[in-house]
Amino acid sequence: MKDFPAIPFLGNPAPVVGVIRLDGVIGRMGPIYRGLTLAALADSLERAFRLRHLKAVALAINSPGGSAVQSSLIAGRIRDLADEHDVPVYAFAEDVAASGGYWLALAADEIYADGNSIIGSIGVVSSGFGFTELIKRIGVERRLHTAGDKKAMLDPFSPEKPADVRHLKDLQKDIHENFTAMVRDRRGDKLKADDKKLFSGAFWTGPRALEMGLIDGIGDLRSEMRLRFGEKVKLKLVGGRKPFWRRRLSLAQASGMGHAPRDWSGDWAARALAAIEERMIWNRFGL
């Protein structure tokens, strides 16, 4: 009988941590640009929690916030997957995890930040412009016809009405209460500051956020995961940049190949407005 060489014992496989980058403004901005949305992230989230030899999932967050709905949906899906697969989740704030960015961090079992990270902004903001005086100066007549007396509420070309502002404030109050409920549910007894301070919409650096119980420690993703799972832990980024062929396909689709010519002037205007809006959101945190 022929002898076969012994197969060497390979030992236990290296532990794996799935890494998901949550980078940018949350939600859709304008008709073209899309930031972080559940639709865009769903596949990456599912794949991260199905990795072989998975020990944890890490969220690398760099977001100034955005859509409350998308923040809630993304965080909710992460929690559902974590419970389904019985896998712990760790969040790591980079430059900023504020407003909706902090909402995303709340999906984690533990939250870490750099000493210079911006954390918090647990509040709701709505911004816009009023052009009523401008159109008067340039001799433009505003023509607006509606069915429903609230249909043109907060129209930027019409004078602001106190009743409309009160309605907006009520909406903001509801969203703010949902946000604070999420913070209380996920942070619980870890919170060390009073509600007036925590939920004022203010934001803080990492060490101050740690003092108030908004985060669990100061640290970075690679170092913390090595401390927990050993030097041989494998950090596997899920998602990220599209493969070359998919980027080419996206460009072809965007250029309208096989379809009627696109109105590039409209596209550029929409992109410019989206870029300005995104810049304004980041600027709130001095970034």
The H or E element containing residue 113 is strand 110-113
**In Å, how far are 59, 77, 105, 112, 161 from 108, measured between CA atoms?**
8, 11, 6, 10, 41
Q: What is the pLDDT confidence band of residue 281, given thresholds at 50, 70 and 90? A: low
pLDDT of residue 251: 41
Per-residue pLDDT, averaged over 113-131, amounts to 79
Which among 102, 108, 40, 104 is positioned nearest to 75, based on CA atoms?
Answer: 104
Residue 263, burial from CB neighbour count under 10 angstroms (0-12, 13-18, 19+): exposed
At 57-81, the pLDDT tens digits run 999 999 999 999 999 999 999 999 9
The three-point CA angle 210-223-92 to 5° equals 45
Would the pLDDT of 250 be above 50?
Answer: no
- CA–CA distance, 199 with 185 (Å, rounded to integer): 14
Q: What is the pLDDT confidence band of residue 134, given thresholds at 50, 70 and 90? A: low
pLDDT of residue 282: 56
pLDDT of residue 247: 40
Within its chain, how far is the Cα of 260 from the centroid?
Answer: 35
- CA–CA distance, 183 with 191 (Å, rounded to integer): 9
Q: How far apart are the first and last CA of the chain?
A: 72
pLDDT of residue 138: 74
Per-residue pLDDT, averaged over 231-258, amounts to 62
Per-residue pLDDT, averaged over 70-95, amounts to 97
Higher pLDDT among residues 122 and 46, named by residue: 46
Rank 71-80, 155-164, 256-265, 270-279 by mean pLDDT and report only the highest.
71-80
Token representation of residue 93: 């704030």
SS (H, E, C) 237-258: ECCCCCCHHHHHHHHHHHCCCC
pLDDT of residue 271: 57
pLDDT of residue 123: 74
Per-residue pLDDT, averaged over 160-165, amounts to 71
Taking a C-beta distance cutoff of 8 angstroms, is the pair 110, 232 a contact?
Answer: no
Q: What is the pLDDT confidence band of residue 275, given thresholds at 50, 70 and 90? A: low
At 10-58, the pLDDT tens digits run 568 999 999 999 999 999 765 555 689 999 999 999 999 999 999 999 9
Tell me, which fold does domain 16-124+177-283 have in CATH? 2-enoyl-CoA Hydratase; Chain A, domain 1 (3.90.226)
Would the pLDDT of 136 be above 80?
Answer: no
What does the mean pLDDT of the chain come to? 81
Domain ranges of the chain: 16-124+177-283
pLDDT of residue 252: 45
pLDDT of residue 246: 46
Would the pLDDT of 253 be above 90?
Answer: no
pLDDT of residue 273: 54
Token representation of residue 218: 């100061």
